[in-house]
């Protein structure tokens, strides 16, 4: 199953919200091996999750 970058980014987002099935996980992994754009996208949406959790929890602002 070859997925387009658009389809991969949708799965990359969904895997933060649900468990992907085996075929989906495999397709994403295969795609990452050949596409640095989607690998970067995945790292960045995970970073967004960490960043948003920081909001409102940082020390008081002066």
Partner 1 sequence: MQDFKALVEGQRAYLLRYARLQLRDPHAAEDVVQETLLAALSGRSGFAGRSNLRTWLTGILKHKIVDAIRRLSRESPLAGEEEDADFEALFDQRGHWSEMPAAWPGADSALEQKEFLIALEQCLACLPAKTAQAFMMREHLGLETAEICKELGVTPTHCWVLLYRARVALRRCLETNWFAT
Residues that bind partner 1 (CB under 8 A): 4-7, 9-10, 13-14, 16-18, 36-38, 40-41, 43-45, 47-56, 58, 60-61
For residue 27, the minimal CB distance to partner 1 (Å) is 13
Residue among 18 and 29 whose Cβ is closer to partner 1: 18
For residue 1, the minimal CB distance to partner 1 (Å) is 14
> Environment class of residue 38 by beta-carbon count within 10 Å: exposed (0-12), middle (13-18) or buried (19+)?
buried
The CA distances from residue 53 to 9, 25, 27, 47, 57, in Å, are 22, 26, 29, 10, 7
């Amino acid at each position: 199953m070859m997925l387009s970058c658009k389809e991969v980014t949708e799965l990359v987002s969904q895997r933060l919200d649900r468990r992907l099935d085996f075929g989906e996980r495999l397709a994403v992994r295969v795609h990452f091996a050949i596409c640095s754009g989607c690998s970067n996208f995945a790292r960045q949406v995970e970073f967004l999750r960490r960043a948003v959790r920081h909001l409102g929890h940082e020390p008081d602002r002066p």
